[in-house]
Amino acid sequence: MKARVALVTGGTRGIGLGIAEALGREGFALAVCGTRPEQDAAPALAALKKHATEVLYCRCDVADRAARERMLESIERGLGGLHVLVNNAGIAPRQRKDILEASEESFEELLRTNLQGPYFLTQSAARWMIRQKSAAAAWAGCVVNVSSISATVASPSRGEYCVSKAGVSMATQLWAARLAEFGVPVYEVRPGITKTDMTAGVQEKYDHLIAEGLLLQPRWGTPADVGKAVAMLARGDLPYSTGQVILVDGGLTCQRL
């Protein structure tokens, strides 16, 4: 194993691709996963290969336990180890509905993908990280959970999404507390309004809100903004800050009078 290895879930589009690109520039070997066939992700993988030492694509739905385990086995075979886990993969509700009307099926789908899957992927990856640390004292790694300002900012038209991201925030605290004895820091990166395919359907709404002063920094966030924050953590630039939240939201959640 010549380079440190990072796994970025949902790493071939949107915020995940921005994170993977940033880590590739830092010299990481990359494992990226998604639900699409590999040929559909080929343009993103080609872009990543311009920077990363190695790129491994794993087709994996993080809500599927067996698929998660197959993915980790594939990474061990193909890249030899794992240093950084970035839990980024997530979905929005198929339909935005008022919480008075939203279905249990939508709630269950989002919780499985956005919270349950990352939670138990962290469990499996953490066990592997602990084994690596026991075998080589110089091993160093971390876990980064990508949540959202929706962890604390209520949107009654997509309550299930907010609940899932609030759960990710608590999961960060739990894993930070549990993994501290093994020297594995756990962080949360909390993006704000970020221009991706997930937000394309509400672009006009947020263009208007940004123009009216919603943000202190009056522009959309980009996947590259989030990637820079994750790269900082993966490099180990904040070694004494486990459990902390890094906000990448243009000042949206800064309280003002």
- Residue 254 is assigned to a structural domain of this protein: no
The verdict on residue 122 lying in a domain is: yes
Residue 255 inside a domain? The answer is no
Q: Of 40, 39, 48, 46, whose CA–CA distance to 17 is shortest?
A: 48
Residue 188 has pLDDT above 80, yes or no: yes
256: in domain: no
Q: How many domains does the chain have?
A: 1
pLDDT of 10 higher than 80: yes
pLDDT class for 20, splitting at 50, 70, 90?
A: very high
| Helix 117-135, helix 159-179: angle, nearest 10 | 20
pLDDT digits (tens, 9 = 90+) for 120-152: 999 999 999 999 999 999 999 999 999 999 999
The CATH code of the domain that includes 119 is: 3.40.50.720
pTM for the whole structure: 0.97
What is the pLDDT, as a whole number, of residue 257? 87
User: Taking residues 211-234, what's their average pLDDT?
Assistant: 98
Q: Is residue 57 annotated as part of the catalytic site, yes or no?
A: no
In a domain, 257, yes or no: no
**Structural domain of 79:** 5-248
Average pLDDT over residues 86-105: 97
Q: What is the average per-residue pLDDT within 251-256? A: 96
Which residue of the set 57, 119, 161, 187 is catalytic?
Answer: 161
Q: Is residue 69 part of a domain?
A: yes
